[in-house]
Chain A
């Protein structure tokens, strides 16, 4: 079982709509959670990270963490065609010696103009 599970999609949303991405994790001891955006053939780009229960907002992006349900989500408001990419959820596995990341399989998002 992967440490992080995501729906692979594709998730198709119209321009201007809200895209909602979900991620669950298996180890209740996990503390820090990350969302990366990756365009095809490019490197992962950090969108934001969260480690406290609740919401964290950064511009059009909101991350939500629910540790009781072991659930992390990312909302993209006012979706733009440039948001079309694969979104990777990642966690630092408990017991790590550093901040290495374990990634989910990614959710592919397509924003329709």
Chain B
């Protein structure tokens, strides 16, 4: 079965640079969620989109922005990167409101140096 696809899998950026993470949800899924997981931490919700509109917002820095496109894929744009942004970034998708379950992609490991 098709899963959530994230790219790139690994990314190394320097401080103050910009990064773009991409997420392709499971086919037919209309909702995308972004999470950030620091070392030894649990995943923290950043932002979500339903039918291409922002649905909910969590602890996402103002330096970050995201959107969902007409094909339901989503991109997380991160600017003015800081060392503390180094983390695993997960995207999850679900079929809202029909299914409670959200399925996670393999994640993007971002390292800021």
Chief secondary structure at chain B's binding surface: strand
**For residues 3 through 46 of chain B, which have their beta carbon under 8 Å from a beta carbon of chain A?**
31, 33, 35, 41-45
Q: How far is the CA of A96 from the CA of B56 in the complex (A)?
A: 7
| A103 at the binding interface (Cβ < 8 Å) | yes
Interface size classification for chain B: 20 to 34
**For residues 35 through 49 of chain A, which have their beta carbon under 8 Å from a beta carbon of chain B?**
36, 41-46, 49
Residue of A nearest to B33 (CB): A100
Contact in complex: A99, B58 (CB < 8 Å): no
Contact in complex: A45, B104 (CB < 8 Å): yes
Contact in complex: B45, A100 (CB < 8 Å): yes
Number of A interface residues in the complex (CB < 8 A): 24
Contact in complex: B104, A98 (CB < 8 Å): no
| A97 at the binding interface (Cβ < 8 Å) | yes
Contact in complex: A46, B43 (CB < 8 Å): no
Q: How far is the CA of A97 from the CA of B96 in the complex (A)?
A: 10
**For residues 10 through 28 of chain A, which have their beta carbon under 8 Å from a beta carbon of chain B?**
none
Question: Hey, which chain A residues are within 8 Å of B74, CB to CB?
Answer: none
Contact in complex: B104, A99 (CB < 8 Å): no
| A85 at the binding interface (Cβ < 8 Å) | no
A→B interface (CB under 8 Å)? 32, 34, 36, 41-46, 49, 51, 88, 92, 96-106
